[in-house]
Structure 1
Amino acid sequence: MPFIIPRGRFAGLLAAAALLATLSACSSMKSSDSVLGLVTPYRIEVVQGNVVTREMAAAVKPGMSRAQVRDILGSPLLTDVFHANRWDYIFTIRRQGAEPQLRRVTAHFDGEQLNRLESEQELPSETAFVASIDTFKKKSGKTAPLELSQEQLQALPAPKRQTGEQAETPPPARTYPPLEP
């Protein structure tokens, strides 16, 4: 005799099985996975600290004051009471579609003057840094020029010149309502 499940219990068992399958799928998902290959969960972009590029580090020279270093590199992420002669610039970024980055730059001071600037790894140039966090898909390799060529400039219509009467007439005076009633 076959085992028969009542109709109400069958729906409950089916729902429980679906729930278990869903939960097991969620627990096996890694952070880079997408659901069914179609939907990728949104991940917030986390940026902390100031980015220090190769050009910025080259502008900082030993002997500069703390204010000059702050003007070039920005405010440090960490200033420690116990290490008053040390500023730590720590930069982290986690962006969807790009590799996470962590950089540490330390400025050491003698009193109010910069002694040296250290970095754990080689700092990127500004263009290399922008390229490393750029997640937009380029449609084509060509970019539009930002300036007009000489031929394009000559093809533009000449600006309209004003006659003597129009140029000398001042614009009408503006009137504003009183501020107090």
Structure 2
Amino acid sequence: MSANHHYGVQKALIVIACVMLGACSSVTSGMSSSAVNPVNWITPYKVDVIQGNFVSKEQVEQLQAGMTRDQVKALMGTPLMASLFHADRWDYVFTLKRQGVEPQSFKYTVYFKADQLERFEGDAMPSEAEFISKLTNQRKLGAVPPLEATEEQLNKAAAKAPATAPSPSLAAASEPAAPTAYPPLESPKQ
């Protein structure tokens, strides 16, 4: 083979490689870059992050003007933010971050005047049932089997039981009776 012919084959291969690379870049420009990158195909597990005090709709409905600070704390819990500069204001902040779901944030503020609840305001809080439904796993594992045995299953189990098993009255008679008084756990002080 002549040197010119060999040189021509190299040129043709370089041109074909450049055309192929150009075609690849035009195909991938229509796709998102994360779909092309194999590293992004596998997503690591991200833990659900729940921060702050969950305040339910039911708790908010129990708030009444005139309650003391202790009553509010017993009802709603310790506030997440209580500022020295705003001693008459408590902020209850709650955030929920889950994988694949937009982060949710709730804020509720209570205002005091002379240690009495004056007013309260904030976001519309979810009920306890709504909050629990947000925490449940999206995976459905199938139907839960019945947890009670049918009469037929009980009869089958009784038929399979060994016939040599002692009856409960005989087993109780052979064992010593449980003591009615127990010794003290600690020795008496001397």
Which TM-score band applies after superposition, normalised by the shorter structure? 0.5 to 0.7
Q: State the number of aligned residues.
A: 146
Gaps of 5+ in 1: 4-26, 177-181
- Could you say which residue in structure 2 is the equivalent of 1:131? 133
Question: In the alignment, residue 115 of structure 2 is paired with which amino acid?
Answer: E
Q: Aligned partners of 2:119, 2:53: CA distance in 1, in Å?
A: 18
Identify if the C-alpha distance between structure 1 residues 49 and 172 changes in structure 2 by more than 3 Å, giving closer, same or farther. Answer: closer
Q: Where do residues 70-89 of structure 1 align in structure 2 (5 Å cutoff)?
A: 70-89=73-92
Q: Deviations over 1:97-149 (max 9, x none)?
A: 443210010011112111122113x2111011111232341223x55688x79
Q: Deviations over 1:71-119 (max 9, x none)?
A: 1211111112221111111111111144321001001111211112211
TM-score (norm 2): 0.58
- Could you say which residue in structure 2 is the equivalent of 1:56? 59
Q: Aligned partners of 2:38, 2:50: CA distance in 1, in Å?
A: 26
Identify if the C-alpha distance between structure 1 residues 74 and 145 changes in structure 2 by more than 3 Å, giving closer, same or farther. Answer: farther
- Could you say which residue in structure 1 is the equivalent of 2:165? none
Q: Aligned partners of 1:83, 1:35: CA distance in 2, in Å?
A: 51
Q: Which runs of 4+ in 1 moved over 3 A?
A: 27-30, 34-38, 142-146, 160-163, 165-176
Gaps of 5+ in 2: 1-6, 12-31, 156-167
Q: Aligned partners of 1:47, 1:130: CA distance in 2, in Å?
A: 12
How far 1:38 moved relative to its partner? 5.2
- Could you say which residue in structure 2 is the equivalent of 1:66? 69
Q: In 1, are the aligned partners of 2:107 and 2:122 still within 8 Å (CA)?
A: yes
Report the RMSD for the aligned CA atoms in angstroms. 4.3
- Could you say which residue in structure 1 is the equivalent of 2:42? 39
% identity of equivalent residues:
36
Larger radius of gyration: 2
- Structure having the larger proportion of residues in helix: 2
Q: Aligned partners of 2:44, 2:83: CA distance in 1, in Å?
A: 38
Identify if the C-alpha distance between structure 1 residues 133 and 82 changes in structure 2 by more than 3 Å, giving closer, same or farther. Answer: same
Q: In 1, are the aligned partners of 2:34 and 2:40 still within 8 Å (CA)?
A: no
Q: Aligned partners of 1:52, 1:134: CA distance in 2, in Å?
A: 18
Q: Secondary structure at the match of 1:102?
A: strand
